[in-house]
Every structure is written in structure tokens, then in C-alpha cells.
Amino acid sequence: MIKSASQLSLQSILKLDAATCAAMGALLALVSAPVSALTQISAPLLFWAGLVLFPVAGFMFACAQARRVPMWATGLVVVGNGLWVLASLALPLAGLIAPNALGWLFLVGQAVVVLVFAALEWGAVQQRPVAS
């Protein structure tokens, strides 16, 4: 039986978020030049964004190992995801980068995925029973 998103534990969501962070980090760090050529997003920006994702993925994975993820850690992950989404959209809107149509699709697509993770993580925290 497949669990719905609302039935996933915070630990499971964090593990999945960590895996996607690591995968995106590897993609951006290893093939930043070809991705840049396709999207017109600067290769160094893609490369360094990819490297930043590795410690983030490590933090998320470490949090996911806890029997009960601390609220501060979940809050940090949710805020970090929100800042990633904001930066993904603010950079081109402010004219700091000039992606082509595929670049916009790439930025918006990954921002939506990150926003979904933030919402799932926050929702999982809200569903936790309150300690008495």
C-alpha cells in the first residue's frame, strides 16, 4: 500500500529531501557547463549552488536519523527551503541572471519541488502529537 503525503513521517520526508538535494547538488556541480549552455544560467552560479547542497543534504539526513526531529532543525530546513525558492525566483526577477525559457522552466520547476518539500515538512511537524 502506498502512503499519501500526509501519512509520511517527518523523517521520511527529510530523507527524500536530502536525497533530492544530493542529486541536484551532483547534477549542478558535475555538469554545470552543459546545464548553463541549455539554460543561460551562469555555470559558476550553478556549480557553487550545487556544492552548497551537499552540506544541506547532510544536515537533513542527520536530522532524519533522530527519533524525534527537533523543532529548531525542522524550522531551519523549512526556512532554508523557503530562502532557496525566494533566491531561485529573485535572481532572475532582479535581473541578476538572465535565463532563457528553458532556464526559467528549470528555476521554477525546482523551486516548486523545494516549496512542496517545505510544505510537507511543516505539515508533518504540525501533525506531531504535543508532549504532555
pLDDT 10s digits, 93-116: 999 999 999 999 999 999 999 999
Q: What is the mean pLDDT of residues 69-77?
A: 95
The model's pTM = 0.89
Residue 26 pLDDT greater than 80, yes or no: yes
Amino acid 1: pLDDT: 44
Residue 25 pLDDT greater than 90, yes or no: yes
Query: Cα(123)–Cα(132) distance, rounded to whole angstroms?
Result: 20
Residue 43 pLDDT grade (very low, low, confident, very high; cuts 50, 70, 90): very high
What is the signed CA dihedral for 31, 33, 35, 37, rounded to 10 degrees?
A: -160
